[in-house]
Structure 1
Amino acid sequence: MTDTVGRPLLFLDVDGTLIPFGVPPAPRPDVPELHETQDPSDAPINPFLARLDPEHGRRLLALPCDLVWASSWMSDANEEIAPRIGLPELPVVAWPDGCEGEEGEGLHWKTRALVDCAAGRAFVWVDDEITETDRSWVSEHHQGLALLHRVKSSHGLTDADFAIVGDWLARC
């Protein structure tokens, strides 16, 4: 991913973006219910996966960009998320050792790594934790076009989010 030409990249977060943290969806027979006192990692299938919208994969693939996982799920996103929403295996951002949780001056721990990964190429970053500090840092340190789009974690990706991202990509 060091190419500075070609289609823009879309760095895609999972938690709060594809998996909203708002009102739980209706129960599905293929995903066990999570009890309030139960840790999701103890469940045989992560119950939050029931919150995935299976239409998101089709809509993401229709965007004129190259999709890249930018999530702490890392390669697990290809195993657990991609097949549930109809995405093929995607490249995964390789986070530098120890970068998760390392926020300096309000900068998100992903920001520097995403700019490095983009290597001057236009990109969209879709995440629920983007701040003005991240936007400022990217505008100062990234030579290409960039859209940092914050999604409401309670809703995840919505029609409005797809419209904003799609419009921006159409102008790239």
Structure 2
Amino acid sequence: MLNPFAASSCPDGYLEHEFYPGEGPERYCPDHAGWITELAAAGDLRWATGWGEDANALFGPKLGIPALPVVTFPPLPFPPEEKVPAIAAAVGDRPAAWIDDNHTEAGRRWAAGRAAPTLLVPIDSAVGWTRPDVDRVLAWLAGLAG
């Protein structure tokens, strides 16, 4: 969750850009480029967003990162619970860390019922993705490897 859309104003360290004319600005943080690069080096990183391929087309160039694979969700708008089948298909039986601003009860049940280790990382939509969120995933991955 790169875009802290619920913040009343643009948070420190973020920039605003109108990706979709007439819809108002989206927020992004240049620091996220390094964090995304770290996570991609540590595992199989994918965009899992309703933006779909637009995440690569819009955020990728702003952050200067290469395109990432995209988890395909139903067409917008869709209930957040409908993310679960797409995430489940994308991760298969591998360990998975899922970073999201709207983990649902369906997602928590899916994570709890998996045989593979699963970490859900909730993001506050008024704050956005933070370095402690990244560090939590990296520490979790290191624990799996050790």
Q: TM-score range by the shorter chain?
A: 0.7 to 0.9
Matched, 1:139 2:112: yes
Structure with the higher helix share, 1 or 2? 2
User: TM-score when scaled to structure 1?
Assistant: 0.69
4+ residue segments displaced more than 6 Å:
none
Q: What amino acid is the match of 1:18?
A: L
Q: How many aligned residue pairs are there? A: 139
Q: What amino acid is the match of 1:61?
A: T
Gaps spanning 5+ residues in structure 2: where? none
Residues 5-57 of structure 1 show CA distances to partners (whole Å, capped at 9, x for unaligned) of xxxxxxxxxxxx200021322896x846xxxxxxx8443x9521xx2001111
Q: Which residue number in structure 2 is paired with residue 5 of structure 1?
A: none
Q: What amino acid is the match of 1:62?
A: E
Which of 40, 54, 58 is residue 34 of structure 2 equivalent to?
58
Q: Which residue number in structure 2 is paired with residue 148 of structure 1?
A: 120
Give me the whole-angstrom Cα distance separating, in 2, the residues matched to 1:75 and 1:98.
12
SS of structure 2 residue aligned to 1:125 = strand
Relative contact order (alpha carbons < 8 A, sep ≥ 6): 1 or 2 greater? Answer: 1
Distance 1:81 1:159, change over 3 A: same
**Once the two structures are aligned, what percentage of the paired residues are identical?**
31
Which of 7, 20, 35 is residue 4 of structure 2 equivalent to?
20
SS of structure 1 residue aligned to 2:121 = strand
Distance 1:150 1:126, change over 3 A: same
The CA RMSD measured in Å over matched residues stands at 2.7
Gaps spanning 5+ residues in structure 1: where? 1-16, 33-39
User: Is the contact between residue 100 and residue 110 of structure 1 (CA under 8 Å) also seen in structure 2?
Assistant: no
Q: How does 1:10-159 map to 2 (within 5 A)?
A: 17-21=1-5, 22-25=7-10, 31=17, 41-43=20-22, 47-48=25-26, 51-63=27-39, 64-95=42-73, 97=74, 101-102=78-79, 108-140=81-113, 142-159=114-131
